[in-house]
Amino acid sequence: MFDMISHPFDDDKLKEECGIFGVWGAEGSAALAALGLHALQHRGQEAAGITSYDGKTFHSHRAMGHVAGNFDRDEVIRELPGEAAIGHVRYSTTGASALRNVQPLFAELSSGGFAVAHNGNISNATHVRRELNRRGSIFQSTSDTEVIIHLVATSTYRPLLDRVIDALKQVEGAYSLVMLTNEGLIACRDPLGIRPLVLGRRDDAYILASETVALDVVGATYLRQIEPGEMVVINEKGLRSLRPFQAQRPRPCIFEHVYFSRPDSLLDGLSVYQVRKNIGAQLAMESPVDADVVIPVPDSGNPAAIGYAQQSGLPFELGIIRSHYVGRTFIQPGDAIRNLGVKLKHNANRPVIQGKRVVLIDDSIVRGTTSVKIVQMMREAGAAEVHMRIASPPTRHSCFYGVDTPERAKLLAAQMDVQRMRDYIKVDSLAFLSIDGLYKALGEDMRVEETPQYCDACFTGEYPTRLTDYEESAADDQLVLLAERAG
């Protein structure tokens, strides 16, 4: 039978759940949105959607799958007229009902149409949803984003912008939003700036996107990032900036620099590619090893491996060759063939490995299953020694801010110390970048313990917001456990 699966080496990576894009004031706005979403495809590969506005009517097309294949047909783009559009790519839940969660979500409010695309996660969505249900709200999806629509719809304020602000003051967590209304395009970033959002200009049009690479692809000039806690309103009068939330010390996601963002993006004014090279150089200083060759785990390990090789003086080689032409669907008649599927995506380049002491560079270890396969591949290709260096600290904690992380019990570093991880992966040595080393690669002297400069909760367990839903769920589980014991 045919089975939909992730790429063999990608199912052990943290997945950024969303990418967003917005345009105001451009002919063919939907086509621009499709191009921008294509550049953001790495942020979400399960579903995509675009909503446009022609000055009178909103038009939407949402579909499961990649941007290409859904938005590369003229007939689809023609059904999305207007000079304003927003778009979204996401990792979604599986199953027949998944389309109802594909964004942008749209609703007809008393003030007119309202479409929203969201990158992040509302960490009190279940709590708020329960209260909205009690007051009579009926939800059409299981997405936390729909909570925002209902809060806007039920706000007692009259002006639409005030209703949006009122809604966002009731939510916790991470959000970068683009919202399309008959009053203009609204964009907003949460007060901590956990998820990225940037602003660009293309002729007379304004462009918003999760990353600068999307601006590059559509021929837009990067202007600046949307600041943490900032809201911008774009309409025929131009662009207006508001600061409706209480100012807080920003805590942007540090893992954007490690893995999520494309290396050709600028993030917080820094080149993602250069930061990753800095990470590799810092890793070489912290954890050197007597070896013959530095090999990245492609593609995410490439820049860090270059930095490691340059700092250590060891040669850099492509010892693992990645095929970019593996489809997501192929026949899997049994375990023997399924295991061979790994080599469809990555294969060892034996001539640069055989007889060599190899340093493998990867960005992170999540479950550890990928690392086991890669090390085995190196051994089978004749490596004399295999050392692994990880370009981030151990990932010990789940993310509640819009990243698809396994539950903590499935994170290898949450269950084992580095020595046990080394034995499990079967490497000759294993080392991770220190948390201060990561901050140094970002141009900081060190991590400020009292007021960390980034959200690094996946490494430290120090979450910058309340986790209302998680806390209430844990409390409910405790009550069930107590009740079972009492029974």
Annotated binding site for Mg(2+): 300, 362-363
Among 13, 12, 34, smallest CA distance to 23 is for 34
Active-site annotation holder among 8, 9, 18, 457: 18
Q: Is residue 144 a contact partner of residue 128, using CB atoms and an 8 Å limit? A: no
Cα–Cα distance measured from residue 78 to residue 383, given in angstroms and rounded to the nearest whole number: 55
Burial of 90 (0-12, 13-18, 19+ CB in 10 A): buried
- HSE-up (13 A, CA, CB side) for residue 49: 26
194 CB-side CA count, 13 A: 25
CB neighbours of residue 34 within 10 Å: 26
- Is residue 417 within 8 Å of residue 411, measured between CB atoms? no
**Whole-number Cα distances in Å, 266 to 197, 256, 260, 386:** 11, 11, 12, 33
How far apart, in Å, are the Cα atoms of 434 and each of 12, 164, 395, 425, 439? Answer: 21, 41, 12, 20, 9
Beta-sheet pairing, 385-390 with 357-362: parallel
Q: Which residues does the annotation place in the binding site for [4Fe-4S] cluster?
A: 253, 399, 455, 458
Please say if 188 is a catalytic residue.
no
Rounded distance between C-alpha atoms, residue 261 and residue 403, angstroms: 13
Structure-token match 């890793």, residue found: 283
Residue 391, number of CB atoms within 10 A of its CB: 29
Q: How far apart are CA 80 and CA 457, in angstroms?
A: 40
Pull the structure tokens for residue 62.
Answer: 């949402």
Query: For the chain, how long is the longest CA-to-CA vector?
Result: 73
Please enumerate, by residue number, every residue annotated as part of a binding site: 253, 300, 362-363, 399, 455, 458
Residue 45, Cβ neighbours under 10 Å: how many?
Answer: 20
Residue found under tokens 């290898």: 412
Long-range contacts of 416-422 (CB under 8 A, 24+ apart): 418/394, 421/365, 421/368, 421/394
Give the catalytic positions in this structure: 18
